[in-house]
Chain A
Amino acid sequence: DIQMTQSPSSVSASVGDRVTITCRASRGIAGYLAWYQQKPGKAPNLLIYVTSTLQSGVPSRFSGSGSGTNFTLTISSLQPEDFATYYCQQANTFLPLAFGGGTRVEIK
Chain B
Amino acid sequence: QVQLVQSGPEVKKPGASVKVSCKASGYSFTNFGIHWVRQAPGQGPEWMGWSSSYSGNTHYAQKFQGRVTMTTDTSTSTVYMELRSLRSDDTAVYYCARDMATLTVFDYWGQGTPVTVSS
Chain A residues with CB under 8 Å of chain B are: 32, 34, 36, 43-46, 49-50, 55, 87, 89, 91, 94, 96-102
CA–CA, A94 and B49, complex, Å: 8
Chain B residues with CB under 8 Å of chain A are: 35, 44-47, 50, 59, 61-63, 95, 97, 100, 103-107, 109-112
Given contact pairs A43-B95, A49-B100, A91-B103, A97 touches B47 in the complex (Cβ within 8 A): yes
Q: Which residue in A34, A89, A96, A100 is a CB contact (below 8 Å) of B62? A: A96
Residues of A contacting B: mostly: loop
Determine the chain A residues whose CB is within 8 A of the CB of B63 once the complex forms.
96
Q: Which 5 pairs of residues, A with B, have the shortest CB-CB distance?
A: A43-B109, A97-B47, A96-B61, A34-B105, A49-B105
Question: Do A46 and B50 touch (CB < 8 A)?
Answer: no
Contact count A vs B, C-beta below 8 Å = 50
Question: Do B109 and A89 touch (CB < 8 A)?
Answer: no
CA–CA, A87 and B44, complex, Å: 8
Q: Which residue in A43, A91, A101 is a CB contact (below 8 Å) of B104? A: A91
Determine the chain A residues whose CB is within 8 A of the CB of B44 once the complex forms.
87, 99-102
Query: How many whole Å from B102's CB to the nearest CB in chain A?
Result: 10
Question: Do B105 and A99 touch (CB < 8 A)?
Answer: no
Question: Do B45 and A32 touch (CB < 8 A)?
Answer: no
A-B contact pairs, 9 of them (CB 8 A): A32-B103, A34-B106, A43-B110, A43-B111, A49-B100, A96-B61, A96-B62, A98-B47, A100-B44
Q: Which residue in A44, A50, A96, A98 is a CB contact (below 8 Å) of B106? A: A44
CA–CA, A102 and B40, complex, Å: 13
Q: Which residue in A50, A96, A100, A101 is a CB contact (below 8 Å) of B103? A: A50
